Chains A and B, each alone.
Chain A
Amino acid sequence: MIEVSNLQKVYNGITVLNIQQLSIPQGESFGLVGNNGAGKTTFFRLILDLIEATSGEVHIDGQKVARNDDWKAFTGSFLDEGFLIDFLTPREYFNFVGKLYQKSEGDIALFMESMQDFFNGEILGTKKMIRDFSKGNQKKIGIAAALLGEPKLLILDEPFTALDPSSQIRLKRFLNDLQAASQITMLISSHDLNHITEVCKRIVVLEKGDMVKDLQTNTDTLKELEAYFAV
């Protein structure tokens, strides 16, 4: 699904990301952990063609990502609030995004209905603009919008932070169900080692831009990660 080769990003002479080779097969749930500044978000932005790689390439489904529109049709992503259109109401936003993925009004209504549980009934009823919602609810809206196009590839940057405990558990369950039901490829970063080991089958640790660990998740993974990050 994703092929990364010799990917490098340098800011002012400092290498913030350096991945020689990485391939993520279709259907894999891929977790990314690392302390602040490890390059997680930079990596995601490079995959989404939001920043220009200093060298190297990312391919999605055999297509080069840079300056290309084709991968957008099957990729859902949410990194931060910049991925929301904050002057729309949630309903308007979902309708807008749905239309972009050629969904009919009926499909979109059905989708919003299916999200009611995740939204805890708080988001769709009001006529508030997205910018007036709390950070947690904004995050839910963004994650939902990323899923709306029935993506083959889902990229979420720290989806669990700012969510309330119930929503974290719901999201975890939701992602696991999604993984079981479809051949979706997921890239998720998180600071919460518990969550990430529960959701992802493979976990990569980044440190200062380098891949230092590449683990297949098993019962010992959490311990190994905790040991790695212990100070």
Chain B
Amino acid sequence: MLILDLIKQEWKKSIRSRGFYKNMVANLFLGIFALYIIIVFLFLGFSLNSMLEKAQTSLSPMEMVNGAMFYLILGALTIRFIMQQLNTFNLPLYQTLPIKRSALVNFLLLKPIFAPINYFTLLVVIPFAVKSVAGYYSGFIAFRFVVSFVFIIWFDSLTAAFLKRKFGSSILAFLSILIVLASIAALEYLKLFSLFAVSKTVFGFIILNPFGMLIPLAAAILAFGLNKRFFFQNYYPERFNQKLKGAKVSTADFSFLNRFGIIGELISLQIKLMLRHKRTRTILLTSAVFLFYGLLFYTHHSNGDGMLFFIAVFMTGILMLMYGQWAVSWDSNHFDSLMTKNIPVRSYITANYYLMMAFNILCFVLTTPYFLFGSKIIYMHIAAFFFNSGVNIFLLLFFSTFNTKRVDLSRSSAMNYQGTTYKSFLIVLPIMFLPMLLVSILSWVASLSVALWTVSLLGLTGILLRKPLITVCINQFNSRKYKLAEGFREQE
């Protein structure tokens, strides 16, 4: 009963938060995205059997899935480690009430298991079980296959939470997981040790033996126990929150920026902001991952020019795009401070402009290895760089003033949509797809070089006209200033 009350209160917390209704449109976008994922997963589930049957082995589809299982579990664990948000239930709030602590801990641990997102994979598993496992073996085995999978999901979710609580979500921990995964894959590839074979045997037993599914259940219970033990050892929130907070201050010195006066001060402030908050650090990390996007697309020659240009704009501007969407909102916590201290609005906007410009140059330089893919890519990247620096940068500066929601910097991991409204999507759409459309049309009507020259010249014009364009952004900022200040003051 108590657990039910707690669940009710959490639910109220989310629907009574001020942002909820304002956020409807953003939620709608996310809903559409979720629907898309559901369809893709279902499609995969129904076609997995025939796909695997075409593979050139003597193994049955289920045996292949079993072989891949350890990889799937480890991969899912890694993804969860980055993406899964720790349940930030306000423990101290309830700790003083006469509620048994173990009930609270159980709630904290078990709540994520009820999150529907965990069971998305079942959209693949169930159709596969019905079509393939039931066909090759029996309906009862298909049922056990699905149930084992649910246990594995529990195990993954609980283990990821435990690892995250224990080690924090440092980049180091993430890298070490990647290294372990890579070395296992390497051993497999070199045929020194096959996790595939081990996995096939183990999961073969789990699914075919009537009591086999007790093994994943035991694993899930073990993971639950580990979590419980963690909370038992770290009884007080201050102890387990320490790991999450990481209160250490990086002492990196940006004093070289001081020569540039107030603008330099503001830029170094912004860099400190990015390095000292989880949410912004995640942005840096995701941006770094997206820099490898080109490897996926440039290796296929079937992509159209517009698509390639889209990728080029995306990669050479990734940091600017990620940062610029919320250029003003990052300061929502201390917006009043910036507005009342001796900072002319021009300096504030100009500082953001230079910072985004620096991001552009950085990303452009980091993506130069793609030049090895040929001269077409070189021209694409240069044109994209100009377009980002002359057109997109101003669009971002201009439209970021429409994001009046407070951004909570402390809460974060990837897939954090706090502070996202439909406006965020409206900003990104033209920035990403307009150049794509432009290049597609021009290279179809005229030629690719005409298209690239056009976007480059557009960009160059923007760079040359930066003074008046910055003034436009300043006027826009000034007219939105009160709305921004008011919106940022509202805590969720």
Q: Are A77 and B342 in contact, CB atoms less than 8 angstroms apart? A: no
Nearest A-chain residue to B409, judged by Cβ: A87
Task: Given the known inter-chain contacts A97-B341, A99-B262, A99-B265, please indicate yes or no for A50 contacting B249, CB distance below 8 A.
Answer: no
A17-B339 Cα distance, complex, nearest whole Å? 22
Nearest B-chain residue to A101, judged by Cβ: B342
A69-B478 Cα distance, complex, nearest whole Å? 11
Select B334's contact among A48, A82, A100, A128, beta carbons within 8 Å. Answer: A82
A96 within 8 A of B: yes
**In the complex, chain A residues 69-111 whose Cβ is within 8 Å of any chain B Cβ:** 69, 72-73, 75, 77, 79-80, 82-89, 92, 96-97, 99-101
A128-B248 Cα distance, complex, nearest whole Å? 8
Q: Are A92 and B272 in contact, CB atoms less than 8 angstroms apart? A: yes
Q: Are B247 and A82 in contact, CB atoms less than 8 angstroms apart? A: no
Q: Are A50 and B485 in contact, CB atoms less than 8 angstroms apart? A: yes
Give, as a whole number of angstroms, the nearest-CB distance from B178 to chain A.
28
A132 within 8 A of B: yes
Q: Are A72 and B337 in contact, CB atoms less than 8 angstroms apart? A: no
Q: Are B247 and A50 in contact, CB atoms less than 8 angstroms apart? A: no
0 or 1 for each of B256-284: is its CB under 8 Å from A? (1 = yes):
00100010010001001100110000000
Contacts of A80 in B (CB 8 A): 336
Contacts of B340 in A (CB 8 A): 48-50, 72, 75, 77, 83
A127-B248 Cα distance, complex, nearest whole Å? 8
Contacts of B345 in A (CB 8 A): 69
Contacts of A99 in B (CB 8 A): 258, 262, 265
B486 within 8 A of A: yes
Contacts of B489 in A (CB 8 A): 82
A207 within 8 A of B: no
A51 within 8 A of B: yes
Q: Are B249 and A83 in contact, CB atoms less than 8 angstroms apart? A: no
A73-B486 Cα distance, complex, nearest whole Å? 23
Contacts of B237 in A (CB 8 A): none
A159 within 8 A of B: no
A52 within 8 A of B: yes
Q: Are B265 and A128 in contact, CB atoms less than 8 angstroms apart? A: no
Select B337's contact among A49, A83, A101, beta carbons within 8 Å. Answer: A83
**In the complex, chain A residues 42-82 whose Cβ is within 8 Å of any chain B Cβ:** 48-52, 67, 69, 72-73, 75, 77, 79-80, 82
B344 within 8 A of A: yes
Contacts of B333 in A (CB 8 A): 82, 85-86
Contacts of B248 in A (CB 8 A): 127
A4 within 8 A of B: no
Select A129's contact among B247, B478, B488, beta carbons within 8 Å. Answer: B247
Contacts of B334 in A (CB 8 A): 82-86
Task: Given the known inter-chain contacts A67-B478, A89-B249, please indicate yes or no for A82 contacting B343, CB distance below 8 A.
Answer: no
A149 within 8 A of B: yes
A129-B272 Cα distance, complex, nearest whole Å? 12
Task: Given the known inter-chain contacts A50-B336, A82-B333, A86-B333, please indicate yes or no for A100 contacting B343, CB distance below 8 A.
Answer: yes
Task: Given the known inter-chain contacts A49-B339, A86-B334, A89-B249, please indicate yes or no for A129 contacting B276, CB distance below 8 A.
Answer: yes
Q: Which of A50, A87, A96, A149 has the most CB of B within 10 A?
A: A87
Q: Are B262 and A82 in contact, CB atoms less than 8 angstroms apart? A: no
B482 within 8 A of A: yes
Q: Are A87 and B277 in contact, CB atoms less than 8 angstroms apart? A: yes
Nearest B-chain residue to A87, judged by Cβ: B276
Nearest B-chain residue to A151, judged by Cβ: B342
Q: Are B249 and A85 in contact, CB atoms less than 8 angstroms apart? A: no
Number of interface residues of B (CB under 8 A): 32
B70 within 8 A of A: no
Nearest B-chain residue to A52, judged by Cβ: B482
A79-B277 Cα distance, complex, nearest whole Å? 24
A100-B248 Cα distance, complex, nearest whole Å? 26
Q: Are A51 and B276 in contact, CB atoms less than 8 angstroms apart? A: no
B107 within 8 A of A: no
A77-B339 Cα distance, complex, nearest whole Å? 11
B240 within 8 A of A: no
B335 within 8 A of A: yes
Nearest B-chain residue to A72, judged by Cβ: B342
A5-B394 Cα distance, complex, nearest whole Å? 38
Q: Are A129 and B249 in contact, CB atoms less than 8 angstroms apart? A: yes
Nearest A-chain residue to B273, judged by Cβ: A87
A49-B335 Cα distance, complex, nearest whole Å? 12
Give, as a whole number of angstroms, the nearest-CB distance from B226 to chain A.
29
Q: Are A72 and B341 in contact, CB atoms less than 8 angstroms apart? A: yes
Contacts of A92 in B (CB 8 A): 272
Give, as a whole number of angstroms, the nearest-CB distance from A144 to chain B.
13
0 or 1 for each of B338-355: is its CB under 8 Å from A? (1 = yes):
011111111000000000
Q: Are A96 and B482 in contact, CB atoms less than 8 angstroms apart? A: no
A129-B334 Cα distance, complex, nearest whole Å? 14
Q: Which of B276, B336, B342, B409 has the most CB of A within 10 A?
A: B342
A72-B344 Cα distance, complex, nearest whole Å? 8
Select A149's contact among B249, B337, B342, B409, beta carbons within 8 Å. Answer: B342
A49-B265 Cα distance, complex, nearest whole Å? 23
Nearest A-chain residue to B338, judged by Cβ: A85
Q: Are A69 and B344 in contact, CB atoms less than 8 angstroms apart? A: yes
Contacts of A128 in B (CB 8 A): 247, 249
Q: Are A100 and B262 in contact, CB atoms less than 8 angstroms apart? A: yes
A87-B341 Cα distance, complex, nearest whole Å? 17
A81-B336 Cα distance, complex, nearest whole Å? 9
| A–B complex contacts, Cβ < 8 Å, 24 sampled | A48-B336, A49-B339, A51-B486, A69-B343, A69-B345, A72-B340, A72-B342, A82-B336, A82-B488, A82-B489, A83-B334, A83-B337, A85-B269, A86-B333, A86-B334, A88-B272, A92-B272, A96-B265, A97-B341, A99-B262, A100-B341, A100-B342, A132-B247, A149-B342
Interface residues of B (CB under 8 A from A): 247-249, 258, 262, 265, 269, 272-273, 276-277, 333-337, 339-346, 409, 478, 481-482, 485-486, 488-489
The 7 closest A-B pairs by CB, nearest first: A82-B336, A52-B482, A69-B344, A85-B334, A87-B276, A100-B342, A83-B337
Instruction: Known A-B contacts: A72-B340, A82-B337. Give 6 more (CB < 8 A).
Output: A82-B335, A83-B337, A92-B272, A96-B265, A129-B247, A149-B342
